[in-house]
Amino acid sequence: MFPEDGMERYDPKTIEARWQRVWDDERAFHVPNPAEGEISEREKTYVLEMLPYPSGELHMGHVLNYTLGDVVAHMRRRSGYAVLRPMGYDAFGLPAENAAIREGGHPRVVAERNIEAIRAQMRRMGWAIDWEREVSTHEPEYYRWTQWLFLRFFEHGHTYRKEAPVKWCPKDQTVLANEQVIDGRCERCGTEVEAKSLEQWFFRITAYADRLLDEMSLLEDWPERVLTMQRNWIGRSEGAEVVFRIDELDAEVPVFTTRPDTLYGATFFVLAPEHPLVPRLVEGTPQEREVLDYVRRAGARSTVERETKEKDGVPTGRTITNPVNGEQIPVWVADYVLMEYGTGAIMAVPAHDERDFAFAERYGLPVRVVVEPAGGDSAPEQGVFVAHSAGERLVDSEQFSGLPSPEGKRAIVERLERDGNGKQVIAYRLRDWLLSRQRYWGCPIPIVHCGACGLVPVPESELPVLLPEVEEFLPKGRSPLAAAEEWVRTTCPSCGGEARRETDTMDTFVDSSWYFLRYCDPRNDEAPFGRDVADYWLPVNQYIGGIEHAILHLLYARFFTKAMNDMGLVGFREPFLRLFNQGMIHHLGAKMAKSKGNVVEPNLYADRHGADALRLYVLFMGPAEQDKEWQDTGIEGTVRFLHRLWRLVHEQVERGGPAQAPSGGALARKTHETIAKVTDDVQRRFVFNTPISAVMELVNEIARAPEDPAARFATETAVSLIQPYAPHVAEELWQRLGHERLWEEPWPVADEAQLRRETFELVIQVNGKVRDRVQAAADLSREELVELARNSPRARAFIDGGSVRQAIVVPRKLVNLVVG
RNA sequence: GCCGAAGUGGCGGAACUGGCAGACGCGCUGGACUCAAAAUCCAGUGCCCUCCGGGGCGUGUGGGUUCGAUUCCCACCUUCGGCACCA
């Protein structure tokens, strides 16, 4: 740039490669575990970003995600904490398997090739990661412990196998967990899912529903919307189970309702088409054909269709007895009642439930009002829909009439309980987590099916159950593992007889539900992790990732942690104390996607401008939690800034000014203000764009007064403050300033004494409008400030003939003269 | 439909607890350097008016509270996200 000055040009490529090598050689970011049996003296911080799926290509979302974590980790480490910041790969799963099917070859080869590629790109970004703790979920050394944990869950009854209606993705040829179905479509491929009844493996996450809600109180800082989404997903609702009877069949049919106070308004009864009682109910009746026909048609409807069409159903010809008044009401079958929720049957109260009302309207069923809104003085109109409201009272409900709704609920439930016709219950929307998948590239389920002994766990000594080698990965409705006949055929660990291995593999979300624990103790070959070491590092202090896992991964990991806590494997109940969701980086107005051709590749920019400029830019763009738009010209601004800083440092080295700043000067004060701002912004506010602005301001100030006695001090501080954001160039400049190892240098602390000002700019307002600004001594009294304002000629012009009726003084800020 | 978040210059954004709206950066305009260009540096840059002193308006829209509102309250508009036959 200025070769005639002999100043070396800022060349990010060389600098970045050099410092990455130094960090590796010196194991700069390796953190040892506290020695056995002794808790480390140093306070710890666990900074973690969500486990990446190794697609082979790093994208901008990763860059933002890991750079955020990097800044936090650097600052924490330089503030004296032992910082755990590991990295690994969520390597099992469909993308690698599908790529292998498409291109031929083995999913493992695809996955490992991708890992190599993405690791190289990550290292290029210079993140301060302890690479010695790297793990990948597809390695037998890892999935051995996934299996081990599965068996502990199995022993404790957290895992079970049952036949149940499940969601099936016809494209991926596998079942899905409820959480992986979005609007009736497969979360991965968007194919409409089908309903099937299959025998599958489940985690009993529903047993933890209440704790997943209640223990949110243990979390330090999670985005409110994530908590809301989880609460909605769990869907806890308090109500009652009410038992209706069909005497002719000697059958009891319980329903769940949140409105037991409306029991007298039940005018019909509805069973889900899948309800097991339906065939017996209509057997040999004139309605049999029509009802079974309806059931068949409902079964063929897609979830989407079922949810969007007009409500329909068929009468069964049977009646059922309302336990409170003995009334006989007709039983219908309709698919607006879902088998998965409650008991698969409802009492229909059309006057007080919109869905029941719509159904009653269509089929001309009676509508009986039994609750009147607050302040109803005349008898309620019959046959209409009455929305739920505060202060409502029961009517036409025998002895319960007149009770306010909440008391009515209580009284009716008490009566039901006394008569053995019901009880208070809580229903959840949350379903158990379906964990088995009919695909190859996943963790094998370590179970043996024995004709004599049933489901037998594989003994711990035989773990891992390795994935068998097969020729064909294409799924055909059953797991490709089933084709490895020799592998499938085994002996029962319990009785020694012939037995067959489980051929389903686990949902990859199982792998990622405990990876944050493996990082504590990644090479342990006797246990998934040592409890002491886990209890030292965990819970994660700062977790960072995308909002897409608001329910899926985050709910599963919380469940796993709680179950492990119950089993005595860990001493804490929540895995992630603070959660941060970064926004998405868009380009050309849309989410980056290969199919749209608008992907901005980080590597390209790292090569062109350096990783430091890229890291700075993704943070400088705007608030980290907001979605934002990539601008090529934007990164050029950060490039320019680094060049400017580079020149400034060299100029200061040339000048050789004193490193210690004399106190009291404007530049010295600005420097301390910058330290305070940069530190506070990250630590308290978790914002990353304004600290960069603050350092830019400081650099601008230095450039304006390079001969200031505080210039050298200001320059060194700027380099030190920018280190978490642009670590390579900061390290290089630090060395050129005559120091070493900036990453080990304590984080700067602002000197309170230097922050104090002797004068300030007093803003003078007249009737709320700024009319003048004057310098004022910091220690002036309120009266003196008002005098100063009154004497301002500019303010006077606006006071004119009027009199000052009031003066508002904000100390060290402004005076507002109210003139009337 | 319900719940939530957001709306500020040409653009990304700042203003943290009700007290100077537009920090920082991009872009643009003018100038310096150069044979020229790039790079760099300097100055300017919300809109309107101006006698060049300054004045008026301005944070989605309309109202309110207040000495004072981007910030608090009410209503509405727009965008985005979540939930949505859950009994």
Instruction: Give me the CA A170–C1' B72 separation in Å, rounded.
Output: 54
Higher pLDDT, A37 or A414: A414
pLDDT of the residue at A3:
40
Minimum mean pLDDT among A8-17, A302-311, A475-484, A519-528: which range? Answer: A302-311
Closest residue to B15 (CA to C1') is A690
Which residue's alpha carbon is at the shortest distance from the C1' of B26? A634
A642 or A779: whose pLDDT is higher?
A642
pLDDT tens-digit series, residues A129-179? 999 999 999 999 999 999 999 999 999 999 999 988 788 888 888 888 888
Q: How far, in Å, CA of A62 to CA of A340, rounded?
A: 38
Residues 754-773 of A with CB under 7 A from strand B: 761, 763, 765, 767-771, 773
- Tens digits of per-residue pLDDT, A573-618? 999 999 999 998 888 777 787 777 778 889 999 999 999 999 999 9
**Which nucleotide is closest to the Cα of A625 by its C1'?**
B5
What's the one-letter identity of residue A364? G
Q: Are A247 and A321 in contact (CB under 8 A)?
A: yes
Q: What is the mean pLDDT of residues A707-715?
A: 92
How many Å from the CA of A795 to C1' of B8? 28
Q: Which of residues 790-809 of A touch strand B (CB under 7 A)?
A: 794, 806, 808
Is the pTM higher than 0.90? The answer reads yes
Bases of chain B within 7 A of a CB of the protein:
3-5, 11-16, 19-21, 23-27, 39-42, 55-56, 67-69, 80-87
Task: Taking residues A526-540, report their average pLDDT.
Answer: 95
For the CA of A636 and the C1' of B41, the distance in angstroms is: 17
**Rounded average pLDDT over A46-74:** 93
pLDDT of A378: 60
- Residue A376's pLDDT band, with cuts at 50, 70 and 90, is low
**Distance of C1' in B22 from CA in A647, Å:** 29
Distance of C1' in B59 from CA in A58, Å = 38
Strand, helix or coil for residue A611: helix
pLDDT at A2: 39
Asked whether the predicted pLDDT for residue A754 surpasses 90, the reply is no
Nearest nucleotide, C1' to the C-alpha of A768?
B68
> Under 8 Å CB-to-CB from A553, ≥6 apart: which residues?
A50, A509, A512, A513, A545
| A136 three-state secondary structure | strand
Is the C-beta atom of A690 closer than 7 angstroms to strand B?
Answer: yes
Would you say the C-beta of A431 is within 7 Å of strand B?
no
Show the tokens assigned to A499: 């037995």
- In whole angstroms, B9 C1' to A464 CA is 63
CB within 7 A of strand B (chain A, 320-339): 335-338
| Amino acid code (one letter) for A426 | I
Average pLDDT over residues A703-729: 94
| Residue A819 pLDDT | 84
- 3-class state of residue A788 by DSSP: helix
Q: Of chain A residues 490-519, which have a beta carbon within 7 Å of strand B? A: none
The partner residues of A814 in beta bridges, in order of sequence, read A763, A810
Assess whether A677 (CB) lies less than 7 A from strand B: yes
ipTM, 2 decimals? 0.94
Is any atom of strand B within 7 angstroms of residue A357's beta carbon? no
How many beta carbons lie within 10 A of that of residue A525, not counting itself? Answer: 7
A181 CB neighbours strand B below 7 A: no
pLDDT of residue A669: 92
- pLDDT above 60 for A5: no
Mean pLDDT value across chain A: 91
Q: Name the band, by pLDDT with cuts 50, 70 and 90, for residue A504.
A: very high
Count of other CB atoms within 10 angstroms of residue A623:
16
Q: Are A258 and A235 in contact (CB under 8 A)?
A: no
Cα–Cα distances (Å) from A687 to A626, A682, A740, in that order, read 11, 5, 29
Q: Which residue is nearest to nucleotide B54 (CA to C1')?
A: A794
Phi, psi of A506 (to 5 degrees): -90, 150
pLDDT at A695: 96
The C1' atom of B67 and the CA atom of A768 lie apart, in whole Å, by 7
The nucleotide whose C1' lies nearest the CA of A806 is B67
Instruction: Check residue A37 and give its pLDDT.
Output: 66
Render A565-609 in DSSP notation, one character per residue.
HHTTS-S-S-SBSBEEEPPPEEETTEE--GGGT----HHHHHHHH
H/E stretch holding A635: helix A632-655
Contact A383, A377 (CB under 8 A): no
- Reported as a pLDDT band with limits 50, 70 and 90, residue A536 is very high
CA proximity to A229, closest of A681, A555, A631? A555
So what's the pLDDT on residue A308? Answer: 75
User: Which nucleotide minimizes the distance between its C1' and the CA of A794?
Assistant: B54
- Give how far Cα A257 sits from Cα of A240, A339, A576, A650, Å: 5, 14, 35, 75
Stated in angstroms, how far is A371 CA from B72 C1'? 39
Q: Do residues A607 and A14 make contact, with C-beta atoms less than 8 angstroms apart?
A: no
Residue nearest to nucleotide B25 (CA to C1'): A637
Question: Tens digit of pLDDT for each residue in A459-483?
Answer: 999 999 999 988 888 877 788 999 9
* Gap from A690 CA to B26 C1', Å: 16
pLDDT at A32 over 90: yes
A703 Cβ within 7 A of any nucleic strand B atom = yes
Examine the pLDDT at A379 and tell me if it is beyond 70: no
Question: Which pLDDT value is given to residue A731?
Answer: 97
Residue A623 CA distance to nucleotide B47 C1' (Å): 28
CA at A653, C1' at B25: how many angstroms apart?
Answer: 27
pLDDT band at A487 (very low <50, low <70, confident <90, very high): very high
d(CA A384, CA A367): 7
* CA–C1' nearest nucleotide, residue A761: B20
Å between A192 CA and B5 C1'?
A: 30
